[in-house]
């Protein structure tokens, strides 16, 4: 039995590089295993196993915790990190330098603490809205792919159109994500005359959807080329993987992140100035408000928004967002590997 556990652990160790590679290059940092662990039931009498409660709880945690990690570090933290920079409001202007240097949401532990303190169990509402948005977006994109964009090259158009149609639903998702108070969807959905909200949100949403799906296609191509069934020499394979990671990170830095920042700042401009966020006020016991983070100027429309994206954010913030992505990927790899090994140990214990 001990030999079987050691053998399976060795297979897990050999699978970790492929796991890390796929997570690093995927747009949302949730890549699948390139080569799953080859696991068989030799040495484990699976037919006689009575699944106990602790094994079920372990399996549920192995699914829930990585997803929660992706939500916090892949959605909440980047959004707040983007909004943390401008600080153009008068109430927080004198503290802008301190806040920008501190960059609260680069710290993983501090991010989790602030979300728990500010939102409590209200973050479940954001998860529900995010789940609804994702399911609707994928459904619309799939229907468009079936009927209009059947070739692989046109897939980004289907995703871009889906994101554009749902831009106001994503505004709700962002509101639920950053709000430090119980959320009121009715207040967000209420339109102000002359705002033309959908017209100003649709182009950033289209750009982000197109960029994300294009990166997904690049990742699929890389997986086929690098992790295909053919035997590739070790040195050539390692070099190809390093090159693929560098190229996808460069695409994230130069294309995906500008689109994400443009979309986030465009959406923040349409939120009520009095909404209190999770971002802590430096000198007061409350969160910074939207009006203290975003200027009252109307956001740029159309593709002109991309020309202004570097002004409020700056190059360091791009590097911090890449750093946050790498932290998220590393923690996912560690969590996934630990849970998989614990499941193997539990299975060995149950079959003994």
User: For residue 233, what are the domain limits?
Assistant: 2-351
Say if residue 96's pLDDT is above 50: no
Q: Please give the pLDDT value at position 328.
A: 87
Q: What is the tally of structural domains in the chain?
A: 1
Say if residue 338's pLDDT is above 70: yes
Distance CA(82)–CA(73), nearest Å, equals: 13
Average pLDDT, the chain: 74
Are the CB atoms for 208 and 163 separated by under 8 Å?
yes
Quote the crossing angle between the two packed helices 197-226 and 257-268, to the nearest 10°: 160
Better-scored residue on pLDDT, 280 or 259: 259
Residue showing tokens 């693929």: 244
Instruction: List, in sequence order, every residue forming a beta bridge with 277; answer none if it has no partner.
Output: 179
For residue 325, the tally of other CB atoms under 10 A from its CB is 24
Are the CB atoms for 104 and 279 separated by under 8 Å?
yes
Say if residue 190's pLDDT is above 50: yes
Better-scored residue on pLDDT, 231 or 107: 107
Better-scored residue on pLDDT, 5 or 101: 5
Residue showing tokens 């070790």: 234
SS3 32: coil
SS3 106: helix
The residue among 80, 108, 321, 70 whose CA lies nearest residue 178 is 80
Are the CB atoms for 33 and 15 separated by under 8 Å?
yes
Distance CA(10)–CA(35), nearest Å, equals: 14
Are the CB atoms for 87 and 93 separated by under 8 Å?
yes
Q: Please give the pLDDT value at position 1.
A: 54
The CATH code of the domain that includes 330 is 1.50.40
| CA–CA distances in Å: residue 196 to residues 59, 112, 291 | 47, 35, 19
Q: Please give the pLDDT value at position 139.
A: 93
31-36's contacts with Cβ under 8 Å and 24+ in sequence apart are: 31/219, 34/223, 34/227, 35/227
For residue 184, the tally of other CB atoms under 10 A from its CB is 13
Better-scored residue on pLDDT, 339 or 80: 80
Residues in the chain: 352
Helices and strands in the chain: count of H runs, count of E runs:
14, 2
Q: Please give the pLDDT value at position 152.
A: 79
In degrees, rounded to 5, the angle at the alpha carbon of residue 146 between the alpha carbons of residues 143 and 150 is 135
Say if residue 249's pLDDT is above 70: yes
Q: How confident is the model at residue 16 (pLDDT cuts 50, 70, 90)?
A: low
The residue among 316, 324, 318, 331 whose CA lies nearest residue 256 is 318
Are the CB atoms for 280 and 98 separated by under 8 Å?
no
Are the CB atoms for 130 and 75 separated by under 8 Å?
yes
Tell me the pairing of strands 287-289 and 276-280: antiparallel
Q: Please give the pLDDT value at position 95.
A: 47
pLDDT tens figures, 26-77 = 666 555 434 444 445 445 555 555 666 777 777 778 778 888 888 888 888 8
Say if residue 143's pLDDT is above 90: yes
Say if residue 248's pLDDT is above 90: no
């Amino acid at each position: 039995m001990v030999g079987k556990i050691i053998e399976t652990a060795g297979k897990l160790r050999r699978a970790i590089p492929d796991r890390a590679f796929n997570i690093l290059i995927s747009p949302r940092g949730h890549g699948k295993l390139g080569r799953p662990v080859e696991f068989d039931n030799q040495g484990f009498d699976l037919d006689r196993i009575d699944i106990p409660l602790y094994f079920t709880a372990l399996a549920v945690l192995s699914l829930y915790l990585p997803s929660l990690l992706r939500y916090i570090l892949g959605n909440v933290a980047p959004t707040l990190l983007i909004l943390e920079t401008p600080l153009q409001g008068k109430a927080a202007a004198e503290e802008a330098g301190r806040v920008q240097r501190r960059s609260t949401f680069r710290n993983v532990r501090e991010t989790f603490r602030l979300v728990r303190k500010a939102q409590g169990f209200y973050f479940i509402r954001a998860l529900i809205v995010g789940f609804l948005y994702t399911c609707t977006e994928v459904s619309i994109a799939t229907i468009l792919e079936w009927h209009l964009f059947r070739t692989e090259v046109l897939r980004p158009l289907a995703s871009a159109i889906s994101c554009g149609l749902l831009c106001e639903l994503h505004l709700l998702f962002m509101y639920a994500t950053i709000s430090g108070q119980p959320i009121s969807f009715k207040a967000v959905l209420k339109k102000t005359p002359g705002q033309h909200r959908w017209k100003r949100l649709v182009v950033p949403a289209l750009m982000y959807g197109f960029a994300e799906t294009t990166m997904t296609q690049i990742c699929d191509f890389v997986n086929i080329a690098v992790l295909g069934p053919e035997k590739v020499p070790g040195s050539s394979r390692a070099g190809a993987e390093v090159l693929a990671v560098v190229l996808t990170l460069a695409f994230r830095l130069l294309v995906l992140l500008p689109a994400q920042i443009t979309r986030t700042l465009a959406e923040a401009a349409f939120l009520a100035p009095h909404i209190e966020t999770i971002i802590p006020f430096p000198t007061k016991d409350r969160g910074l408000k939207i009006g203290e983070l975003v200027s009252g100027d109307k956001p740029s429309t159309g593709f002109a928004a991309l020309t202004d994206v570097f002004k409020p954010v700056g190059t360091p913030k791009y590097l911090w967002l890449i750093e946050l992505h790498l932290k998220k990927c590393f923690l996912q790899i560690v969590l996934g590997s630990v849970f998989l090994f614990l499941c193997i140990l539990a299975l060995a214990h149950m079959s003994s």
